[in-house]
Amino acid sequence: MSTLAVFFNSRISFGVAPVARIARVSLRQLQWWDERRVVSPGQDNHKRLYQPNQVIEVSVIAELRRKGFSLQTIRRVLRFLEKELRKRLSEVLAPDSEIHLLTDGKSIYLEDAPERIIDLLKDARQPMFLVCVTDQARRLATAAQRKPPKSEALSPARRSRIG
């Protein structure tokens, strides 16, 4: 089993600060997406916690937003991703995998063969945008293994003042 597969089969979850850092979005943006039910994290007491598949969704959404896609189009992409990733998660997590999401805003493709990706790009009638879903999963797994930045980890002195 690949390192990514082991990671995704674990029970790890992510708070909002690490998710914002991984996806390169603001905390307010995550809150707004939660309020609009784009991606809604689970709750543990008063903490919002994201599962690894949700963090990948947030990363893909952030990439598409940076490329100018509307929230309506992104919702269609998310529905497609949820359905396809359930079927193809093992492919996304395979060590030699390179799964790409391609969209022109109307059509959505999830491809792993470079020649099919090139054919889609060549035959496109309008610009296609590409997001490597596997790279998003790898970035998430790498971020989970790193220590949080000092701004996210309270110092012992700060903890004693809070508690």
Q: Each residue of 95-142: pLDDT tens digit?
A: 677 888 888 878 888 888 888 888 888 888 888 888 888 888 778 777
Task: Please state, rounded to an integer, the average pLDDT across all residues of the chain.
Answer: 78
Helix (H) or strand (E) holding 106: none
Q: Are 95 and 74 in contact (CB under 8 A)?
A: no
- Which residues, listed in sequence order, are joined to residue 111 by a DSSP beta bridge? 100
Reported confidence tier of residue 90, pLDDT bands at 50, 70, 90 = low
Average pLDDT value for residue range 70-98: 74
Beta-strand ranges (E) seen in the chain are 42-44, 47-49, 100-103, 108-111, 129-132
The domains found in the chain, sorted by start residue, are 11-146 (1.10.1660.10)
Reported confidence tier of residue 17, pLDDT bands at 50, 70, 90 = very high
Specify the residue for token string 């490329």.
Answer: 67
Helix/strand/coil for 15:
coil
* One-letter amino acid for residue 104 of the chain: D
pLDDT higher at 27 or 132: 27
pLDDT higher at 1 or 26: 26
pLDDT computed for residue 152 by the predictor: 46
Q: Give the predicted TM-score (pTM) of the model.
A: 0.70
pLDDT computed for residue 34 by the predictor: 92
Tokens of 140: 């998430």
Specify the residue for token string 């998430």.
Answer: 140
Reported confidence tier of residue 150, pLDDT bands at 50, 70, 90 = very low
Residue 79, Cβ density class (10 Å: 0-12 exposed, 13-18 middle, ≥19 buried): exposed
Specify the residue for token string 């989970």.
Answer: 144
For 130, phi and psi rounded to 5 degrees?
Answer: -125, 135
